[in-house]
Structure 1
Amino acid sequence: MILLTIDEQNFIRAKILKVSTDKVSTDKVSTDKENNFLIEKIKIQEEQIRDLKEQRRNGKEQLDIKDSQIAQMQNLLDQQQRLALQDKKLLDEYKSEINDLKALKMPTQDTKEEQANSQPQEELETLKEQMEALNDKIKGQEQLNNQVSKKWYQFWK
């Protein structure tokens, strides 16, 4: 493939359009053939230039599309990383809360003894008596509920 510069193309066009009246008819025939050949060559090159421009335009469009896709992918990756970090923080918080709850539920043997020794014996006895009284009240309420339901049941028989 031979490419001509714009100056060369203009020169050839000028030569083709300019027909010399001084030349002999035989020269004119050969010149016409050369001119036709050069005209065809220029047309072919112009078509190739148009094709190359179109290919370049298509390439630019594809690059723009790829750039937008890359930007979207980077955005999604950033979102995914932020979500993963949030999940990790939540898991760490949950783990610390669970550890705190375990520590509260199962006090060590030393703390149990310290608590027992720190409370006076009288307070323990009063608390036990209060618990027994509350248990008695609960049992009484349950018995009343059972009696009421039996009476209601028997009423329908």
Structure 2
Amino acid sequence: MNENYKTIKELADELGVSKQTIRNKIDKDFREKFVQTIKIKGNNTLVINNAGYSLLKKTLQNDTAQTAKTLQNDTAQTAKTLQNDTAQTAKTLQNDTAQTAKTLQNDTAQTKLICFLEEQLDKKEQQLSVKDKQLENKDTQISQMQNLLDQQQRLALQDKKLLEEYKAENDSLKALKMPSQETEFKHLDNQYKDEVNALKEKLENLQEQIKVQKRIEEQEKPRKWWGLWRK
């Protein structure tokens, strides 16, 4: 290589920068004045003469000095900013500590209140659970009574059919002029009707008592305001 010219790589190695940095410094005016193209090993290669080398070196030195100055200013500014930030942070931490202490005190009182309310709610839930079981038992009793009533109604229908048969037979006996047996059939019919009516009345009274008890329990059942509060 001619010592009056240097390639971009040679310049980058000597000046301690990258080839891209060298290329970034080569503008159109610089290229016209200091750059030539020569053949090196059969390839066209850009080379820079000594004047261009000196200009690039000076430019890079100025850039380095400017960068160092900028870094120095930035460092001073950063140190000042850090100092201010440290003071502000210390003040903020002091305020936060006082606020945290106050908040913890309030939270402690609130936590005690919450624990008390939760205990009361648990007790209410247990009471409601007992009431629910009682209602389930009442419902079961009502269902059983309903089944008994259905059975009774079926028996009543069967007995009605028997009575009709008895009446038919009684009518036949009337034709035979047997007043004593007709009287006996009427007595049995009235006695059976009285028993059925008494049983129905007893069943209706029991159902009414159950309904009254259920309404009383529903009125005593507390409103679940705590459900909304928990959310």
Per the shorter chain, which TM-score range?
A: 0.3 to 0.5
Q: TM-score, normalised by structure 1?
A: 0.44
Between 1 and 2, higher relative CO (CA 8 Å, sep ≥ 6) is seen in 1
Q: TM-score, normalised by structure 2?
A: 0.32
